Amino acid sequence: MDTQIGFPPLTMAVFVGIALGALLLDMVTHRGDKPISLAKASIWSIFWIAISLVFAGFLYVQHGPEVASLFVTGYALEKVLSVDNLFVFMAIFAWFKVPDGMRHRVLYWGIIGAIVFRGIFVAIGTGLLAFGPWVEIVFAVIVAWTAVMMLRAGGDDEEEEDYSKHMAYRFAQKLFPVWPKLHGHNFFVSRKQLEVELQKPENKGMTLAAKGTIFATPLFLCLVVAEVSDVLFAFDSVPAVIAVSREPLIVYSAMLFAILGLRTMYFVLEALKRYLVHLEKSVVALLFFIAIKLGLNATDHMFHHGYTIDANTSLLIVMVVLAIGVVASLVFPGKEEAQPETAE
């Protein structure tokens, strides 16, 4: 079904107004360095879902049920596919030893970057579709390959990655001299401040060998690694949402509203990670589904076989697969790690 809406001024104004208003409210509310509790994160997660449903309601009234359904499907897909990103962020924070109270600061600026890069990728992705259905075949291969890689890496969670070898880490080190210790919640610290720090007993033996007036802290390195990791994940999530709709506004608004809620979703997922042991399998299953949907769309354009998956069916499949992952995690919980026996 044709659901071309373009960029209507009223829809654009409502989209930008709701997104900016909610983002500013979030920024003002979470200015401190206190850890975000599970209860607070859950309330804010519900808030972000409600905000997204408000925009979906506007689309329903303004553009009809089909457009609203496409938005909700894209939103749900981006949310589910972000689960794997958040697991990686947990590993990054653990490696950099970022305190709980500072993680939401890194996530906030990471989300700002994600909003910018998603916009660029959506513009490129939807633009490429104009070259013909073979582009969807390429997207399908990318998404399927990602699913296969996730299946192959299924048992590698116990291995801790050394992020000092990450390309983003090494690139950031070439841009700025690095102070090896956290300095409050600052991403950068001046040489003058560090000269004062060097006078403290705990920093005895440390020197400022590198030249420069501004030094990056481990918090900045953590942000850069997280940002680049998110960009790499976007290579499968953007084609996945484009599989739902070719309309740039629907795709980008769905992704943006999903991304805005990721910061609080992170803290919910962090608390529930050991219980949701089969959720990643749902992500893999959805990636294969999206690859099939892209393939059907492309081959229908090529051969007109008439086999496609509509927006409502897609939404139903996404919700059912997600529910199966959650229920399976509750019914078949992961094995508790055996505690080492203490010698009598």
**What one-character-per-residue DSSP string does 290-339 give?**
HHHHHHHHHHHHHH-------HHHHHHHHHHHHHHHHHHHHHSPPPPPPP
Note the pLDDT of residue 242. Answer: 86
Distance CA 164, CA 158 (A): 18
What is the arithmetic mean of pLDDT over 244-248?
Answer: 87
Indicate if the pLDDT at residue 343 is higher than 60.
no
Given a contact cutoff of 8 angstroms between Cβ atoms, the answer to whether 230 and 238 are in contact is no
* Percent of the chain at pLDDT exceeding 90: 38
183 domain-assigned: no
218 domain-assigned: no
Note the pLDDT of residue 129. Answer: 83
pLDDT tens digits, 6-51: 889 999 999 999 989 988 887 788 777 778 888 989 999 999 999 9
CA 343: distance to chain centroid? Answer: 45
User: CA nearest 299: which of 74, 130, 134, 84?
Assistant: 134
CB under 8 Å to 305, separation ≥6 — which residues?
299
Indicate if the pLDDT at residue 225 is higher than 90.
yes
Indicate if the pLDDT at residue 109 is higher than 60.
yes
- Which residue did the predictor score with more confidence, 54 or 241? 54
219 domain-assigned: no
Indicate if the pLDDT at residue 223 is higher than 90.
yes
Range of the domain at 77: 9-155+233-331
Note the pLDDT of residue 340. Answer: 44
75 domain-assigned: yes
The total number of structural domains that make up the chain: 1
pLDDT tens digits, 284-330: 999 899 899 989 989 988 888 888 888 788 889 989 998 999 899 88
263 domain-assigned: yes
Note the pLDDT of residue 92. Answer: 92
Instruction: Please tell me whether residue 340 adopts helix, strand or coil conformation.
Output: coil
Q: Which residues pair with 189 in a beta bridge?
A: 215
Distance CA 234, CA 78 (A): 10
Note the pLDDT of residue 157. Answer: 53
pTM: 0.84
Provide the pLDDT confidence category of residue 189 given band limits of 50, 70 and 90. very high
Provide the pLDDT confidence category of residue 84 given band limits of 50, 70 and 90. confident
Indicate if the pLDDT at residue 224 is higher than 50.
yes
Mean pLDDT, the chain, integer? 86
199 domain-assigned: no
Distance CA 213, CA 35 (A): 31
Note the pLDDT of residue 61. Answer: 95
Provide the pLDDT confidence category of residue 341 given band limits of 50, 70 and 90. very low
